[in-house]
Structure 1
Amino acid sequence: MLTRRSMMLASIAAGVTMTSSNAFSKAAQPSTPVNFDVPAGACDCHTHIHGDPEKFPFFAGRVYTPEPASPEEMTALHKALHVERVVIVTPSVYGPDNSSTLFGMTARGPTARGVAVIDDKTSESDLDAMQKAGFRGIRLNLATGGVNDPNVGRQRFSGAIERMKARGWHVQLFTSLAMISAIKDLVAAAPVPVVFDHFGGAEAALGTGQPGFDDLLALVKSGKAYVKISGAYRASKLAPDYADATPLAQALIAANAERIVWGTDWPHPDSVTPAGKKVTDVTPLYQIDDGRLLNQLPVWAPDAAVRKTILVDNPARLYGFT
């Protein structure tokens, strides 16, 4: 039986280009100009596409419903930021359906790579098609799903590594420092790259001495894990510059700049359904100034050569840009 997923994969593999007709997105655009020279080939390593829900229906088991965010809006974002490349990550609202991510990647062309969400029904032929389309990793979203049990986390991480080791894709985790501490031995032994989202789940207000941050630093220093210094507003509440995230970013960069990548987390979904609302009610996107967000990078990494490592060299190696 030809499923919707297999039809989408086939169309992507055949090079079919799709266009978006959605004109109602409210995703933020930068209001602050970038204040430093962004190197050629820079990459935003953490974004999402929320397609027209009639074409790309949400997962029934989701915990929130975001506003739309189109490929055209993403292109406008990156033009303003002087960022050439992008990594599009399948968000939890789609479950293991990567169609909206594939749609965004196709619209962007060869400057895009993808990170997929898979399940036991995802076949090796599905993964083959996704690899041809530009996917280079899979994501385990333990945070949004509320997975706090270390035994569950270890089992899911081990299963992901087992599936990816022959393919060479990386495994990306959105999780907490406590979970990172619980699986640090598995990460150290992993035969594929491991990538932690959003400062590894660290809380900026707790500083570099918070429990588990030393384990994260050790994995980065050893080269066994990458960390995305992305979505600073998720680690910090001190808008608009998130100054208390600076010590976290600087500590991670000092540990091993060759294992750090940067991302916006555009279009900035709020993954918590407000009290009194249903999961199916649309939750507005955060209105984050990504120009101001990118301008924190020279604060975190004053050396232009280090910024090039973070923005260009590391993503090229991790995601296979040429």
Structure 2
Amino acid sequence: MIGRREFVVGAAAVGLMIEQRISHAAASQPATRINFEIPAGACDCHTHIHGDPAKFPWFAKRTYTPEMALPEEMSALHKALNIQRVVIVTPSVYGPDNSATIYGMAARGKDARGVAVIDDKTTDAELDRLASLGFKGIRLNLSTAGINDPKVATESFVRAADRVKTRNWHIQLNTTLPVIAAMKDTLAASPVTLVFDHYGNANEELGVAQPGFSDLVSLVKSGKAYVKISVTAGPRQNYAYFTPLAQMLIDRILWGTNWPHPNSVGGSASTVSPLWQVDDGLVFNLLPTWAPDAAVRKKILVDNPARLYEF
């Protein structure tokens, strides 16, 4: 039988664990100090919140289950990176439920914007509500859903564009270069601004000549699209491969961490996939290599996000 003293000590230990869980992130935090000047109003354009599942239940049809990643942890990340603003994107693990994203946005107030996930059941009244809360676009997460058929992808895109074209919202696409290449004519005629996730999911080691990358560049140079230079998956041994990709896209880049670095590879709904432990300070310090001109970095970190997300 547990005595009173053992109970008190045990309860204190549990309380300490909870306190540490909030003040010392399980999700990654920067280990490297930032070594260049960050302009005021800089924005991390690609993050997610994974709330307490008791309050924010996971989507039943999710393909993986992540660890929690809370607003307090995100704020600690951005304090270390000298980042003021944030765009929170609803991850696939919530389906069309944007509640956890709203929770994260509320914690950051006027410095936060959101990108929602919707489905055919999402009403216009709900879109109005999301707009009032600071959402500025919707995401089509085709890659995580395993949608690689250009016909299916095009149909999804056309339906989405029809829903938001009168709202001055954008559509953010998480898809592959082959799908982008196959859809290029539809995308070029898009009635809304486009944002491509994660370098268009280019394979950085294949460089700028890989199939489909020139189509992505053409969409960017036409003024139709932005590209998020947010790095997926875990830590890299060599980030230099990203340099030529970033420099080809430089005028219409949005920078993002992809925090808390969810690991969806080989995941399942029944087991928790540990978050990747990425040193976002190390990755952020690569930006001056990708964009040596401080004025260009201000455009990437401040001006482009301010225009697209209406800060």
TM > 0.5 fold call? yes
Equivalent runs, 1:119-158 vs 2, <5 Å: 119-158=119-158
Q: How many residues get paired? A: 292
CA, structure 1 residues 21+180, in 2 after alignment: closer, same or farther (shift >3 Å)?
A: farther
Preserved contact between residue 235 and residue 276 of structure 2 (Cα < 8 Å): no
Preserved contact between residue 171 and residue 193 of structure 1 (Cα < 8 Å): yes
1:307 is aligned, of 273, 277, 297, to 297
Which whole-Å CA distance do the structure 2 matches of 1:149 and 1:66 have between them?
A: 27
> Residue 113 of structure 1 aligns to a residue in which SS?
strand
Which whole-Å CA distance do the structure 1 matches of 2:186 and 2:286 have between them?
A: 32
TM-score between both structures, scaled by the size of structure 1: 0.88
Unaligned runs of 5+ in 2: 1-17
CA, structure 1 residues 41+241, in 2 after alignment: closer, same or farther (shift >3 Å)?
A: farther
CA, structure 1 residues 122+22, in 2 after alignment: closer, same or farther (shift >3 Å)?
A: farther
1:22 to partner: Cα distance: 9.7
Deviations 1:226-275 (A, max 9, x none): 100111x54xx87255111111111111xxx1x2110000000001235x
Which whole-Å CA distance do the structure 2 matches of 1:141 and 1:222 have between them?
A: 23
Indicate the residue corresponding to 1:64 in structure 2: 64
Indicate the residue corresponding to 1:51 in structure 2: 51
Indicate the residue corresponding to 2:32 in structure 1: 32
Preserved contact between residue 29 and residue 289 of structure 1 (Cα < 8 Å): yes
Indicate the residue corresponding to 1:272 in structure 2: 265
Which whole-Å CA distance do the structure 1 matches of 2:199 and 2:193 have between them?
A: 16
Deviations 1:147-192 (A, max 9, x none): 0101000000001111111111000000000111111111111121
Q: Percent of aligned positions with the same letter in both sequences?
A: 63
2:279 is aligned, of 289, 293, 317, to 289
Indicate the residue corresponding to 1:23 in structure 2: 21
> Residue 261 of structure 1 aligns to a residue in which SS?
strand
Q: Structure 1 counterpart of 2:178, which letter?
A: A
Unaligned runs of 5+ in 1: 1-19
Preserved contact between residue 63 and residue 272 of structure 1 (Cα < 8 Å): no
In the alignment, is residue 319 of structure 1 matched against residue 309 of structure 2? yes
Preserved contact between residue 208 and residue 245 of structure 2 (Cα < 8 Å): yes
CA RMSD in angstroms, aligned pairs only: 1.6
TM-score between both structures, scaled by the size of structure 2: 0.91
1:201 to partner: Cα distance: 1.1
Which whole-Å CA distance do the structure 1 matches of 2:31 and 2:182 have between them?
A: 40
Higher Cα Rg, which structure: 2
Equivalent runs, 1:105-124 vs 2, <5 Å: 105-124=105-124
